[in-house]
Every structure is written in structure tokens, then in C-alpha cells.
Structure 1
Amino acid sequence: MTQCTTPGCRGRIEDGFCGVCGLAPVDAVAASGPQASLRPGPLSGPQASPRPGVPSGPQPSFGAVPPREALDQWLTDTSGGDSVHSHPISGNVKLSGRSGPGSIAGAVNSGGSSRSSRRSDRGMLGAGMVEVPLVPYRDPAEAVMANPVVAEKNRFCGNCGERVGRSRGDQPGRTEGFCRKCGTQFSFTPKLVNGDQVGGQYEVLGCLAHGGLGWIYLARDRNVNDRWVVLKGLLNAGDAEAHKAAAAERAFLSEVEHPNIVKIINFSQHPDPRTGIPGGHIVMEYVGGKSLRELLIERREQGTGDEVLPVDQVIAYGLESLRALGYLHSKGLLYCDFKPDNVIQSEEQIKLIDLGGVRRMDDTLSPVYTTPGYRVPEEELRGPGPTISADLYSVGRALAVLSFRFSFMREHPHSLPPRESVPLLQRYESFDRLLRRATHLDIERRFHDAGDMADQLTGVLREVLSDLQGAPHPAPSSLFGGENFTGVPEAGTHNADRMLGPPSPTEAATLLPSPLIDPADPAAQHLRGFSSLAVDELVPALRAMPAPTPETRLMLTRALLTAGRHGEAMDALQKFAEAVPGDWRTMWYLAVAELSTGRFREAREHFDELYDHLPGEIAPKLGLAIACERVGEHETAARQYQTVWGTDHSFVSAAFGLARIRLAQGDRSAAIAVLDTVPELSSLYVQAQTALIAVLATPQRATDAGDFVQAGRRLERIGLDGESADRLATRVLEAALGWLDAGGRAPERQSLLGDRFTEDGVRTNLDRRYRALAYRATGAAERYELVDKANSLRPVTLL
């Protein structure tokens, strides 16, 4: 073993890879020339895991389990007059590995790269949201290796993985020979040289790199404008396994055509110069750029050695890669060997290369080529064969390797370090949860669809960009609607206190977004017409439908919860769970039901698990924040409210929630700052300003005359009607009077709400405001009370 040459790494090289960082040594990259990233072949030897696969069956469900006894007890405690039934939501409530309706189509295809309309040295990736440094297109002729040699540490038998071609003492290792273990012939000598003509069409210029299935050559296509192409040859002509892999690759790749996947142009043969046996070569487009691994190594070489790629850039690469994988999966193909080495950035485009491991989903015979550190753990235990979730597991591992340093191979070959030990994961909780779902040891808990993962990763990217740039990055969810502001109090002095108090259980449950109606449901179009119905009309309308569908039962569950008929709601939810087992919306409505009945701890646990399952969605974070606030976990609540509000300013309840937490923590200025970020175009802007005025005008919190003056100016700007303005003004003036009575002094000639900021001026103002309110009063008792109040506050005069 030798010391790893990656900057800042203290690991040691074994079998060609570092046991700590998981990377090949830097000298290996240099030895293979600038275009080492172009090798489109699987690893061989210990880096590859050839074995028969097992067909991937139906994707299992993802499990989170409220026990039956707890659910029964909940129903007993909260039925509130409803008939009490036993509601065993069949065995356990589980979350499906698929994220749900609306999350697949469009998510994979929405993350396309785009070019800026102006000339720039940076490209836009990740749904056009992330600027990344352009990687210049390389002149192919400069990429040819001067001395094409495979390092001894990378020489393995293509059949059994045994080390071959190793030196002994002073005698260098053989580049050609036979494996001592299985007898298979090996050859690491290039079969093509400068000037060779392959298929009478492709003129070879030299070697670019060496991949798992053989040498990769640069050539010109003399039949098509001398365009540059890449020829991928076999490991050696006598290797039957390599022949089979190449033939399989040829069949698969003829079907593949995607902007994020290297283009296969042709398949040609050329006789081996020694044996005369024809050898096959796949002809591919030339992709002149750098692999993600090379970009990572370059960044470390330019710094202290601990550098990683920026997290927003890493996520953008992930989204582009998921587009390509989603395309392959839609064609019934599995990539099998995703890793940073196999993703190239050329200018502003991302491409998957190294398609040697691609296989059909129903293929149970072909060998599987994967890489340690990126392969799923069950593969090493001879578990199920390659699956979609295994491809997505590799994407999760690659995202982790590119975005933070950790002991990749030695300490965490199939896990991630604790969140508290990685500053990046501490800062971005949603990114942490996405990585842990993608790489979960339990197959059922992983992603099972590239579109679902891309959808959630896009949501995480919006959160990250909002934090990095200090500006919201909102977008409609493919799973949830927006906040429901029904029942939000009008602006006014009494309602300001309501906005600064936690919502009641019923208000909290009503406020949360609802899952969108599945457009594939037979009743979807009909149910959309029910959106304007009141609850007392909606429930009978839904129950009158002749053939209830899953979406009908979900809408009925929501309506019954809103009406406070919890036992009946659980009946409807039970029927939905039986009709659609494993759907995450079962747990969503269970959490909403718990929230609406004050079972905040139970709701907190279920919203937390939904957050694990949907890390890019805002709705679970908002539910978790409300539940945590009610159980006294203020730090957790503040973190979730901040994430929601920082990402999307349409969720104004998060701003009010964060302001409440800051007030509870004694940070008055932070509460004011949050409320002041509610935009003027928001339908709740006036309510936010009303609450802010109430905070400024609280005598216990006001620090000087400026607080009252600011409150008065804000009140004059927001344009409340006469009565609401007078009621809020009396609150500000009474607070200011109390502050003056306690010894406060305003600057000379300072005014407040149109009068002098003195005791007499404030009393005169209060007298006028209370008499105006008395004039508008509809009841005699209220009118007399207001007049008495005005008389008591009227300044003393000699007349």
C-alpha cells in the first residue's frame, strides 16, 4: 500500500483506490492523460463486481409505523361525540417509495440546462438556477497520450479480478500474458496506433485513456467531415467476457439518444495485428471536457486540500444526471455504475459516459459492473440484482463525495457521517435528509424513481439558493397546493394579538396545504368542481357519489377533519389506506388529524417522518414547525419556519410563526425584522404590519420614543379603514401614555399620530379617537363605555 496523493488526504492506496477518500491517486489521473474521464468502460478486478443479477420486482413500500394500539387509543380520546370505531389502518401506515401523484412527469425533464441570453463565461444548470464555471472544450489532438501505459496497480484479470501484470523485484510486470488463477489471456497493449484505419472510415490518432473493457482511442471520421470520434476497444481479443459485454453494450446503446448521455455513432471491427482476429470497437461522439472527479481534484489542488465543490453546483450536477438516468430507466435500462468519474462537464453541458455497465432491467444473466463506495450494500451480500433504487443510491453517494469530506471507503462505505459532524449538513437539513433517504440501508426507504428524486432535489436546491443568495426561490409544488388562509383574522388591534399567538389546533390543521388531486383518478375532474363548496355541503356531496375513488375518500377525510368529525374522518382514511396501501398521504392526513385534536407530539413525529420522505417539500416542514412550537421545541420550530419563509414568501404563516418564536426567545428586533419582510403584494401584508405595530407598541418591549413613532408612521401608511385605524391607534397611544407615565421622554417637537408626543398631546389624541369609536358604536352600552374611557383620558384643563 502507498500513501494517497489526493491533497489533504491521509489514506493509503489499496487496489488502486484510497481507503479513506475513495479516489484513485492524482498521479493515476495524470498518467492517463487529460482525457482520462472519457473512458466509457466499467472497472475490472476488485473495483468491479461481476455477478448474475436478479430481476427487480415491484418496488416495495416505505415504512413508517404508528402502531394499531396507539391509533385506537387516539380514536378513543378524540372521538368527541362521534361513534367510536376501531381503525387499524391496515397493519401499519407506510410511505411508498414513490413520492406520489404529480411528482414524476416533468420533474426529470424540467431540469434542463440553458444558455444565458448574453455572452458569459459561466453556464446555467439545475433547471437554469445555478451558474457554474464553464469547462472549456479541449482540443482533441492535445488529449492523446504520449506514452499509453496502464499502471501496474490497475491491471486485473477481466474474468476473475485477480491481479495480473505485476512486477517482481527488479523485473517489470508483463503487459500481456495469462492469469495465473483462471488462465484467461490478458493484454494491456494498445491494439491500434496512429494512422490505423478502422472499418475503412475511422483514422486513429492515438490513445486517450484505458477503461475497464480496454483502450479508448481518438480518431477522425473520414466519411463525415473529419469529425472527431472516440473508439472504445476490447480489453483483449481473447477475452470472451469482454466480447459479451461489448456486444451487450452495442445493443443497448443503439437505442439511447439523450442530450445528457454520450452519443453512440457506430460499431466497427478491426483485426488484431498479432492474431488477425477481428476486434470490435464502439464509435462514440467525442466529449471534450473534465469529469466531476477531475473538477473536485483540481479544486483541492488549488486550495488547502480540504476543498469540495459548491453545494449548489453539486446539486445542479445531480439534477442533470437524474435527467439522463430517468431517460435510461424509461427505456427499461439500468446504468449500474454511476460515479463522479463517469460524468463529464464540457462547456456548460453535462454528459454521462462509461456506459459499459448498462443492462436491461429484466436481464438476470449479464455480469454487473459497479464501483466500491457507490454500489448498494445488498449487492455485496448477493442480494437483489440492479434496480432503479440502486442507480439512485449511487447518485446520493456521488453527491455526498462531491459536497463534503468524509472517510468515504474506510469508515463510511455504506453510510454517511452524523449530521452534527458535517457543517454543510448542519446548515442544510433538507440536503442531509435527501442524502440519507437516497442511501438508506433499507431498500424500501430509498427513492425508486429518478423523477421523484429530481423533484425533491429541486426543492432542496431552492432552499440552498435562498440561503446563499438571501432571496426566496419559490415554485409551485407538484404534490401540494398553497396555504389555506380561510379564517385568517382581519387586521385590527384585537386580531394583532391573535396573529402573534399560536394557531389553535383546528386553525393549524386548516392552514396546512392539501395534497393535490391525482389527475389520474377517475373522479379528478369532478372533484375539482367541489373546491368552492362549504364543508356542510361538501361532505354530503362526496358521500352521494356512486363509486368512491381514492381521491374522493381523501377529500372526504379532509372535509370531516375540518368539521371536527374525527372518528368519521378516520373511517374514510382507513378505506383510502386499504385502497392505496403505502401512499404517503395516509400518514399526511393522520398527522393533520393529530394536529387538529391537540396531539402535538404524535403529529410532530409523523411530520418529521414525512420530512424524511419528502425533503424538498415545504408542507411537511411547516407542519413540523407548528407541532414543535406547540410542544416547546422552539429551536427546531424556528429552524423550520426560517427554511419555509426564506424559500417561499407565499407561506406567510411561517413568518408569523418565526416572529412568535423570536418574541418567546426575547429577540424583539428579530421578530420585527421577520414581519417586515412580508411583501406589500401579499394578501396578509396589512395583518403583518398590524402585528408589527403591536410589537412596537408594547410598553414592556418598547425601548424608546422611536418605537412608538415608528408604529404610528406604519399605521398611517397601511391604510386601514376609519374604525380599524382608530382602534389600533388607541392601542399605540395608550402604550405610549403608559411609557410616558413611567418616566419616558420623547424629543421636543416630536409628533405621534398627528399630535404632539407629550402627555397632553397623547391624551388629547386618545380622547378624540375614543369619541370617534363611540360615534360608530351600534350598542348603547359600548357607546357609554367608550365615552367614559374618553373622559378619563381627557387632559385636565381649567375650563
Structure 2
Amino acid sequence: MNECAEPDCTGAVDDGYCDECGMAPSARAAAVPAPRAAAGTAAAAPPSASAPSRPPAPPEAGGRAEGAAGDGRRPNTGGPAAAPAPPSGRSPSLREARLSGSSGVAGQGAYSGGDPVAGTPSHPGAPSSRGLLGLGMVEVPPVPYRDPAGAVLSNPLVAERSRVCGHCGASVGRSREGRSGRTEGYCPSCRTEFSFTPKLAPGDVVAGQYEVLGCLAHGGLGWIYLARDHNVDDRWVVLKGLLNVGDAEAHKTAAAERGVLAEVEHPNVVKIYNFVQHPDPRTGVPAGHIVMEYVGGQSLWDLRMDHLSRDPGADGLPVDRVIAYGLEALRALGHLHSKGLLYCDFKPDNVIQSEEQIKIIDLGAVRRIDDLVTPVYTTVGYRVPERELREIGPSIGSDLYSVARCLAVLSFRFDYGGAYRDDLPDAASVPVLRRHPSYDRLLRRALQPEPQLRFSDAAEMAEQLTGVLREVLSEMHGRPHPAQSNLFGAEHPLFTSGNLVRVIDETDRLLGPPDPEGVAAALPLPLVDPADEAAAELSGLAALPDEDLVAALEGDAGPTPETRLLLARALIGVGRREEAARQLQEFGACSPGDWRPFWYWAVMALGARDCCDARERFEELFDHLPGEAAPKLGLAGACELTGGLDEAEQLYRTVWLTDRSFVTAGFGLARIRLARGDPAGAVQVLDMVPELSSVYIAAQMAAVSALVTDREPASLSEAVFLDAVARLRRLGLRGEARDRLNARVLRTALDWVLAGYGPESPRARLLGAPLTEGGLRANLERSYRERARITSDPARRRVLVDRANAVRPRTLL
């Protein structure tokens, strides 16, 4: 409390007014300049047209202005990160390289191939005609357009918990000793005047054009009013006025919002129509009002609360819906960033869904990227750590950080304003993160404490989030949601020949213990950056065998960065790893921050059988590219080779469920299930290969082998053999491939009968002969002798004849 400045008054100023005489501070006292506070606070609630009542705010909720003037710092806009020379004995890690510089990833957008959200040329603010949430893949229940008249507040009042000084952030207008708090007065800390009463009343006509119907809500910097525009077909509009007409800072921020809104034209950002003046009813001083479109729907926060009220056991909104919201928000923020603007205060309250579209509202905190003076308005629980905001200022990365916080808050329950203000709970304790590891890693990359490790722009984050969405939908619906990667090519073909006998050998290899070199050779390869001056030529050379590629590129006197990278890839393929390492280091010096050299370091470690090092590197790449299949395939192979079968199985399963074109994932999953003694599970995986696929026949032959190879007799049955034979019949194989697989079925069936088992029916037959020891021996002998007859290899012929003699039926003669 402060002593009253009125003459002959012994009272004290409490809540802006004297507790004895009731007078406001005198002009002399009010004119004393208050020291500039380190932080000021903006009021909490946004303009939510359809939600006049608000749920309790999280701990320390409310906007906050971090001092940003006069300290000479530059906002973090993201620059290239230089890749350091590898320490002695070990090549660099991706994390080390990114932490050695600033946040950008040089060249990331250049070879991404297009806007991952809009499907147009890569550009963070490119417009799109798409109006469906989640790329049309997600069914988001539409939010009905609400009658504006029904959204008007009957008793517009700012809750006491949200009454804070717009200058210093101190609490004002609070109840004391049973007396209700004042809605108008002076801040006891800095003497700044405050007012929380609406300045417009129903029936007021602003600028001779806009007839006010009442208040909708109170926003961060002013009351939100509903009005009719009598000059334009009586359309509904929203007037946003200043919360405190006496606050010069609020005036400045409102003027900034007007300028920003006038520049922005995006389907996911609220539209501005006009900016008008209307005299304050108490002082007569003209107050500014922004005229905006009316968005009739619900905020994402209110949608979350409604969902939890209907389903108390839910952890949050369905994750596919949350991701759909995130993709639309990233489109809008990408557009703002392309205009040189930062949103700064992204949160669920500031996003409204109406019908099947979302719009970002309340642009009061928007500022230019190069603005070093305007106060920064953010909200606890969604903003970057205070130290970062104070030392670096807002940036593109901090906007994306807020988007990730918003996704987390909408997806699951956690103390986001308190214990986990700058962190997330452990994934093991959160079902949605445990169920979708890629989503967990995407959130954690966007929320990295080190700004350099986060996403560099909205398009990059949207691309990875789109990949995560496809995985989530595949898991939820049980069907693939494939898409061509903008960063990686297709995986290496698993079957090198159309010879079906050789394909049988290759499927045997794929279902057996994995080979590190084979796993490395099958992985997809990063695409060439089309911005490189040699890109067109290199794209044509990329399909050459590694030996020919080395010969073509080694003599280049002036190699471009992409030439070095392609040469490194080819050198790895021919086993010249030291020379490849040198090319990767030189590429890193030319293109600092590019993740692709670290992909080749990982592949090289795997090919050199250093599987533990490869596993660490693929883990980093998975963290960096959580929406891509390639890092998961590499990590799955490294996990399998180091004994992490559980991790490998989950990764293979995720890739396989999402995109059936990654056959290595299917065979890897089948291989692990066979190793666990689950041949039926392996066959189930192989049966997922579509009939139109080029590897369908190979997958079915592998399924036959999985059914009958290395099986304990007790686990077999007549049905297993009949299933295997039926598969062979459907394939319609001829010649040695047919005879070879028939022999496997017959050999296993014979061992089964010799172990004391037999068919349920004495008349059971297999491949045209009785399912008895005699019938199986005769059938197997004929198969071996037929194969011996047609083979041209004398040694192979002798082996087959010996096998035929060994299994032929016993006779008395």
C-alpha cells in the first residue's frame, strides 16, 4: 500500500483508490514516472466467440511481456550450423554438428521437393486450395457455425484472476477483506491506470457503420464486441478495442496489430476489415477498434475441455485430430514467417475451429522478426524458457516451440504450466507417446532446450508432422497411408534377379540372421539437392553401379557439394571407407548443417559391422527426422543386430504398416517373428504384400518356407501342409522352383510323420500322394530325381541323387 497523496488525508491507496477518501491518486502522484518493469503482463483470455465462459487457467497462465528494448540482441532467425572435423578415431555426430552453430539446417528446404502441407513448390507461405483438415486423411468432426447473437455475454466481466496491470504485470482489481475488486483504478505498484469495463454498450454505433450488440469475450489487449456492419449487408463483424485506454503500451501494440493484420491474407488467419475510432464514454478520448471477421466456432482449448467432459477417461483429443490442427497452424505460421512476422503467443485459446476450418485469431502479440523494441507477449506453459526469451528473443523456432507445446497440451494431460513448464513427461508414462514413438520424438525435437536442435522452419516441421500423421493413421485404421518421401529415394531392390530359384535363395537369406553389410546396402539413399549446379547430371548418374559411379566422379576437378556427397556414397559401396570419410568431411565444410553426411556416417558404421555406433547414429537421425521411414529402417536393422529385438520389431512394424513398398521392413518383421517362434505371425506379415506388387511371388515363396522350415514337429499339423501346398498351387510355379519348394514341404511332412504324428484322416493326401511315410518317401524321391535329371551341374546332380536314395521307400528286396 501507498499513502494517499490527497491533502489532509491519512488513508492509504489500495487497489488504485484511497481506502479512506476514495479518491484516485492526485495528478502529481500519478505523474511520477514509474521505473520500467522487467516484465509486463497481458490479460489472458482470447476472443473465443462461442465460449463465453472459460475453464480454470493453468498455473501462472496469462500473457507476459519480456523486456526486449535497447539490449542490442538479435532475434534467433536460424543460420547454418557448421559440421566440425571429426575427433580422432570417431566421425562427428549430428547433435555435435548442430550445436556447434546456430539453428538452421543449410539446404534443408532446397531438396525437400515441395511444400509438405500444400503440395506446392517449397515455400513456407505458399497458399493452398485445400480446405480439409489433415490433408483430407483425418475425419475431424465439424464445429457448427454458431449464431453470433447467442455468443454475446449477458454479464461481461473480467475474472479477478485475469486482472493484471498492462504495464508491470502486477495483480490489480482483486478482492480485499470481503470487498469485491475494482474494475477500474490505478496499479498500486506502478500507478498505471487500469480499466476492465467494456467501453461499448449494446446499441452503440461505431463510425456510423457498426452497431454493437454486446461483448463476446475479453482478449489479451482488449474487449471483443459483436456488431453488425450496416454498410455491407448487415454482416456480422467483431470489434476489438483496447483493454486499457490509458495504457500507451496497449495503444502501441494495437497499432502494431492493425498493421500486421492489414498485411496478412491467409485462409487460416482471421481477416481484418477496418480500423475505426470511437470516443471513450468516460474520458471522451478516441479509442481505436479493429474491425475483423466473425469466426463462429470453438477454440481448440474449449474443444479439448468439451471432449474431456464427455469422456472423463480420455487423456486428450484424438491424436490424429491434434496433428491435423497442427498442420493447419503450421501453414498459417509459415505464411506469417514468409512475411517477416512472428506470432509469439500461439496457444489453443488463439485457434478456433469453425465447420471444417481453423483460424488463428488475436494477432496482438505479432511482431516483426527484426523488431528489437516491441515487448514480447507470451503465455506461460507455451513459451520458450524465460532465459532463452530474455537472451535471444522470439524467433521462428520459438513459434514452432509453442506449436509443439500446444500439440502436447491437446494430446494428453500434464502439468504444462508448472512441473513440466519447459519439458514433457517421460514417454513411458504417457500412453499416446508410448504408442506413437515418432510423435514423441517430433515433440521433443521441437521442444529441445538448445534452439539449434529444433526445426528450422514451419515447412520442415510440417513435413515431418505429415509423416508422423501417416504412421498414426496406419496404426489406427490398420491400412497403409504411403507417400513418396521428399528427402529419400526408394529402398534398394531386395531381389536382384527374375530367376525364381535364385529368389528362393534370397528369401532364405532375408528370413535368416541379418548381415550388417546387407542391411546397409538395402537402405534408401538421400536425394540429390536440385539446387546444386550439377544436380541434373548427378541425378542421371545416381543409378549407375558404385564402381562406375566412382570412375565417373573421381576425376572431377571442380566438384560441387552434391558431387562430393554422391562420390562418398559410391566409395562406401565399393569399400573405400577412408576416402569416403574424407569426402564427407569436405562436404560438411561446403554445406554446414546438412544432415545427409551423418546418414552416410551411420551407413558406413553399419557396413563396417560397428553396429553399436550405427545404432547411436540412426537414433540421432530418427530424432531429427521423426516422420521419415529411412531412419527407422536403419535403426531397426542396427537394433536387431545388437540384440534389441523388441525395438526392432516395433520399428519394422511401424514402417510396414505405413508403407508396403518398404519390403525390407516386412521381411525384417517376419524374420523377428520367426526368431521368436511365431511362424504364423511371420506368414501374416508376408501375406500383406499386395498381389500387384513386384515382390508378391517372392513373399509367397517366403511364406511357404516360413510355414515348413525349421519347425518343431509338435507345432505342425495337417492344415499347415495343406496351406503350404495351396499357396504353391496358387503361385503356379514351374520347373526347379516348384520342385524345390515341394521338396521342402514333403521333407518337413516326412519328419513330422516319423516323429509320431500323423493326419487326422487316413485318406489324407499331400501333393498327389498319401500323407503317410510311404507316400511321402515316394513323392520326395520323385522330386529329388526330377531335379537331378534337369540340372546341368554334375556335383549338384550327385547330391540330389544321394538324397533320393536316402529317402526312397524301404522294400524287402
TM-score calculated relative to the size of structure 1: 0.89
> 1:565-576 to 2 correspondence within 5 Å?
565-576=576-587
Residue number in structure 2 paired with 1:687: 698
C-alpha contact (below 8 Å) 1:66/1:93 kept by paired residues: no
Residue number in structure 1 paired with 2:65: 49
Go from structure 1 to structure 2 and tell me whether the alpha carbon gap of 1:660 and 1:94 turns closer, same or farther (over 3 Å shift). Answer: same
Cα deviation 1:586-623 (Å, max 9, x = unaligned): 11000000111111000000000100111111000000
Go from structure 1 to structure 2 and tell me whether the alpha carbon gap of 1:34 and 1:529 turns closer, same or farther (over 3 Å shift). Answer: closer
Residue number in structure 2 paired with 1:740: 753
C-alpha contact (below 8 Å) 2:81/2:592 kept by paired residues: no
Q: How many residues align?
A: 746
2 CA distance for matches of 1:222 and 1:379? 49
2 CA distance for matches of 1:569 and 1:50? 48
Residue number in structure 1 paired with 2:35: none
Is 1:406 aligned to residue 419 of structure 2? no
Cα deviation 1:716-763 (Å, max 9, x = unaligned): 222333111111211221121122222221232222223222222222
1 CA distance for matches of 2:94 and 2:423? 32
What is the RMSD computed on CA atoms of the aligned residues? 2.7
Is 1:336 aligned to residue 344 of structure 2? yes
Counterpart pick for 2:253 among 241, 245, 248 = 245
2 CA distance for matches of 1:91 and 1:370? 28
2 CA distance for matches of 1:326 and 1:32? 23
C-alpha contact (below 8 Å) 1:323/1:450 kept by paired residues: yes
C-alpha contact (below 8 Å) 1:36/1:210 kept by paired residues: no
Is 1:294 aligned to residue 305 of structure 2? no
C-alpha contact (below 8 Å) 1:479/1:515 kept by paired residues: yes
Is 1:563 aligned to residue 574 of structure 2? yes
2 CA distance for matches of 1:570 and 1:692? 40
Is 1:210 aligned to residue 218 of structure 2? yes
Go from structure 1 to structure 2 and tell me whether the alpha carbon gap of 1:515 and 1:31 turns closer, same or farther (over 3 Å shift). Answer: closer
Is 1:536 aligned to residue 552 of structure 2? no
Cα displacement (A) at 1:350: 0.5
Listed as ranges, the gaps of 5+ residues in structure 1 are 1-27, 73-87, 116-122
2 CA distance for matches of 1:31 and 1:366? 22
Is 1:786 aligned to residue 795 of structure 2? no
Cα displacement (A) at 1:204: 1.1
2 CA distance for matches of 1:133 and 1:91? 40
Is 1:185 aligned to residue 193 of structure 2? yes
SS at match of 2:89: helix
Counterpart pick for 1:233 among 233, 241, 262 = 241
Residue number in structure 2 paired with 1:720: 733
Go from structure 1 to structure 2 and tell me whether the alpha carbon gap of 1:30 and 1:267 turns closer, same or farther (over 3 Å shift). Answer: closer
Counterpart pick for 2:787 among 768, 773, 790 = 773
Cα displacement (A) at 1:63: 9.5
2 CA distance for matches of 1:787 and 1:45? 83
Go from structure 1 to structure 2 and tell me whether the alpha carbon gap of 1:100 and 1:609 turns closer, same or farther (over 3 Å shift). Answer: farther
Cα displacement (A) at 1:674: 1.5
1 CA distance for matches of 2:61 and 2:627? 38
Residue number in structure 1 paired with 2:115: 106
2 CA distance for matches of 1:266 and 1:744? 87
Counterpart pick for 1:626 among 622, 637, 646 = 637
C-alpha contact (below 8 Å) 1:94/1:587 kept by paired residues: no
> 1:302-701 to 2 correspondence within 5 Å?
302-304=310-312, 307-379=315-387, 382-485=390-493, 488=496, 491-492=500-501, 493-698=504-709, 700-701=711-712
> 1:131-142 to 2 correspondence within 5 Å?
131-142=139-150
Listed as ranges, the gaps of 5+ residues in structure 2 are 1-43, 121-126
Cα deviation 1:439-464 (Å, max 9, x = unaligned): 11111111121011111111111111
Cα displacement (A) at 1:540: 1.5
Counterpart pick for 2:770 among 746, 756, 759 = 756
Go from structure 1 to structure 2 and tell me whether the alpha carbon gap of 1:267 and 1:104 turns closer, same or farther (over 3 Å shift). Answer: farther
Structure 1 residues 730-739 or 595-604, which shifts more?
730-739
Residue number in structure 2 paired with 1:77: none
Cα displacement (A) at 1:414: 0.4
SS at match of 1:790: helix
Cα deviation 1:76-129 (Å, max 9, x = unaligned): xxxxxxxxxxxx8999544865355433841243499989xxxxxxx9411111
2 CA distance for matches of 1:231 and 1:31? 10
Cα deviation 1:320-356 (Å, max 9, x = unaligned): 1111001100110000000000000001110000100
Amino acid at match of 1:627: A
C-alpha contact (below 8 Å) 1:699/1:738 kept by paired residues: no
Cα deviation 1:629-652 (Å, max 9, x = unaligned): 111111111111111111111111
SS at match of 1:132: coil
Cα displacement (A) at 1:189: 1.5
Residue number in structure 2 paired with 1:269: 277
Cα displacement (A) at 1:669: 2.1
C-alpha contact (below 8 Å) 2:46/2:218 kept by paired residues: no
Go from structure 1 to structure 2 and tell me whether the alpha carbon gap of 1:37 and 1:60 turns closer, same or farther (over 3 Å shift). Answer: farther
Go from structure 1 to structure 2 and tell me whether the alpha carbon gap of 1:62 and 1:760 turns closer, same or farther (over 3 Å shift). Answer: farther
Go from structure 1 to structure 2 and tell me whether the alpha carbon gap of 1:677 and 1:367 turns closer, same or farther (over 3 Å shift). Answer: same
2 CA distance for matches of 1:781 and 1:641? 40
Structure 1 residues 441-450 or 677-686, which shifts more?
677-686
2 CA distance for matches of 1:179 and 1:245? 20
2 CA distance for matches of 1:68 and 1:156? 53
Go from structure 1 to structure 2 and tell me whether the alpha carbon gap of 1:777 and 1:125 turns closer, same or farther (over 3 Å shift). Answer: same
SS at match of 1:623: helix
Amino acid at match of 1:192: L
> 1:87-166 to 2 correspondence within 5 Å?
93-94=97-98, 97-98=104-105, 99=108, 101-103=110-112, 105-110=114-119, 124-166=132-174
Cα displacement (A) at 1:67: 5.7
> 1:25-64 to 2 correspondence within 5 Å?
34-36=50-52, 47-52=63-68, 54-60=73-79
> 1:11-22 to 2 correspondence within 5 Å?
none
Amino acid at match of 2:743: T
Cα displacement (A) at 1:695: 1.9
Amino acid at match of 1:728: L
1 CA distance for matches of 2:221 and 2:415? 29
Cα deviation 1:534-580 (Å, max 9, x = unaligned): 22221121123342111111111111111111112112111111111
Structure 1 residues 533-542 or 776-785, which shifts more?
776-785
SS at match of 1:288: coil
Cα displacement (A) at 1:581: 1.5
2 CA distance for matches of 1:795 and 1:551? 66
Residue number in structure 1 paired with 2:204: 196
Cα displacement (A) at 1:36: 4.1
Go from structure 1 to structure 2 and tell me whether the alpha carbon gap of 1:91 and 1:627 turns closer, same or farther (over 3 Å shift). Answer: closer
Go from structure 1 to structure 2 and tell me whether the alpha carbon gap of 1:32 and 1:752 turns closer, same or farther (over 3 Å shift). Answer: closer
Structure 1 residues 618-627 or 88-97, which shifts more?
88-97
Cα deviation 1:496-551 (Å, max 9, x = unaligned): 42121244222211110001111111111111111332222211211233421111
Amino acid at match of 2:682: A
Residue number in structure 2 paired with 1:24: none
Cα displacement (A) at 1:45: 9.8
Residue number in structure 2 paired with 1:729: 742
1 CA distance for matches of 2:811 and 2:452? 81
Amino acid at match of 1:459: G
Residue number in structure 1 paired with 2:39: none
Residue number in structure 1 paired with 2:88: 69
Cα displacement (A) at 1:400: 0.7
